């Protein structure tokens, strides 16, 4: 059996990936989010708020005697306060760092510890963004948290190679600009807070957004054939 831990399965990319994986009878999905919107015999839900760091620290990954593959997909993310530095909500800044960077880093650390002694193939996939590599004014917390998680993945990749482990792989994947609720949030930001807003309005207007289902198809191929993807840092648009 294959076991998948996916954060943020209540909507968007996370839900699409979970539903795609559940098409295979050998897959079991453990969804981690505040709300459950998937009902399936091979879906298990963990009610979890990644902003509650103490709960993240206390979370324990299960052991499986029949596991061929165990996968952690850090999908959850928040856009945060889209505003200029000096005018941002400190509470929203903390939430952004908790959800986008601190919680997934803790989960990766726990995942590595839990499955280091198992024979199963282990994959860690972080849903990244082009914002991890490009400056976007008014997105300071989103850009910096995504960049931080991407560097975390690169350090982990180096440590895996240094240890000679072939049973672990880590990926940081930017899926492109996806038609999700986050995009809707972006289009609703007041113009004076976000100078690039018109670009995102036009992308939606011209049907240039990628569907979550297309991302899920691409992700399923990475999971099934990781040997075809030698790079840790990836962008599905390349």
Domain CATH code at residue 66: 3.40.50.720
Helix (H) or strand (E) holding 153: helix 140-163
Domain of 42? 2-176+212-235
Per-residue pLDDT, 113: 98
Three-state SS at 56: helix
**Which pair of structure tokens corresponds to residue 175?**
């899926």
Are 50 and 103 contacting, i.e. CB atoms less than 8 angstroms apart?
A: yes
Q: Are strands 233-235 and 69-74 parallel, antiparallel or unpaired?
A: unpaired
Q: Look up the pTM and report it.
A: 0.96
Q: Which of 5, 43, 115, 142 is catalytic?
A: 142
Q: Mind listing the pLDDT tens digit of every residue in the chain (238 residues)?
A: 999 999 999 999 999 999 999 999 999 999 999 999 999 999 999 998 999 999 999 999 999 999 999 999 999 999 999 999 999 999 999 999 999 999 999 999 999 999 999 999 999 999 999 999 999 999 999 999 999 999 999 999 999 999 999 999 999 999 999 999 899 999 999 999 999 999 999 999 999 999 999 999 999 999 999 999 999 999 999 8
Which of 201, 179, 199 is closest to 188 using CA atoms?
201
Distance CA 84, CA 193 (A): 7
Q: How many domains does the chain have?
A: 1
Give pLDDT, residue 147: 98
Let me know if 59 is a catalytic residue: no
Instruction: Work out the burial of residue 235: count CB atoms within 10 Å of its CB; fewer than 13 is exposed, 13-18 middle, 19 or more buried.
Output: middle
Asked if residue 7 is part of any domain, the answer here is: yes
Would residue 198 count as lying in a domain? no
Does residue 187 fall inside a structural domain? Answer: no
CB 76 within 8 A of CB 99: yes
Is 50 a member of any domain?
A: yes
User: Quick one: pLDDT at residue 161?
Assistant: 98
CB 111 within 8 A of CB 100: no
Distance CA 136, CA 158 (A): 28
pLDDT at 156: 99
């Amino acid at each position: 059996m294959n076991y998948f831990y996916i954060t943020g399965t209540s909507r968007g990319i996370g839900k699409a990936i979970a539903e795609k994986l559940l098409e295979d009878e050998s897959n079991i999905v453990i969804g981690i989010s505040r709300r459950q919107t998937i009902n399936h015999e091979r879906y298990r839900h963990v009610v979890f708020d990644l902003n509650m760091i103490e709960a993240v620290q206390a979370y324990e990954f299960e052991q499986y005697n029949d596991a061929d593959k165990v996968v952690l997909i850090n999908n959850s993310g928040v856009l945060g306060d889209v505003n200029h530095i000096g005018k941002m909500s400190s509470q929203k800044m903390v939430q952004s760092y908790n959800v986008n960077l601190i919680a997934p880093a803790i989960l990766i650390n726990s995942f590595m510890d839990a499955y280091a002694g198992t024979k199963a193939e282990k994959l860690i996939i972080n849903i990244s963004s082009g914002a991890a590599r490009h400056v976007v004014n008014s997105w300071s917390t989103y850009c910096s948290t995504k960049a931080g998680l991407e560097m975390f993945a690169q350090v982990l990749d180096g440590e895996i190679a240094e240890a000679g482990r072939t049973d672990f792989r880590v990926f940081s994947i930017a899926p492109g600009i996806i038609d999700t609720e986050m995009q809707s949030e972006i289009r609703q930001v007041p113009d004076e807070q976000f100078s690039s807003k018109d670009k995102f309005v036009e992308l939606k207007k011209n049907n240039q957004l990628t569907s979550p289902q297309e991302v899920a198809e691409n992700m399923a191929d990475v999971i099934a054939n990781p040997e075809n993807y030698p790079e840790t840092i990836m962008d599905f648009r390349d």
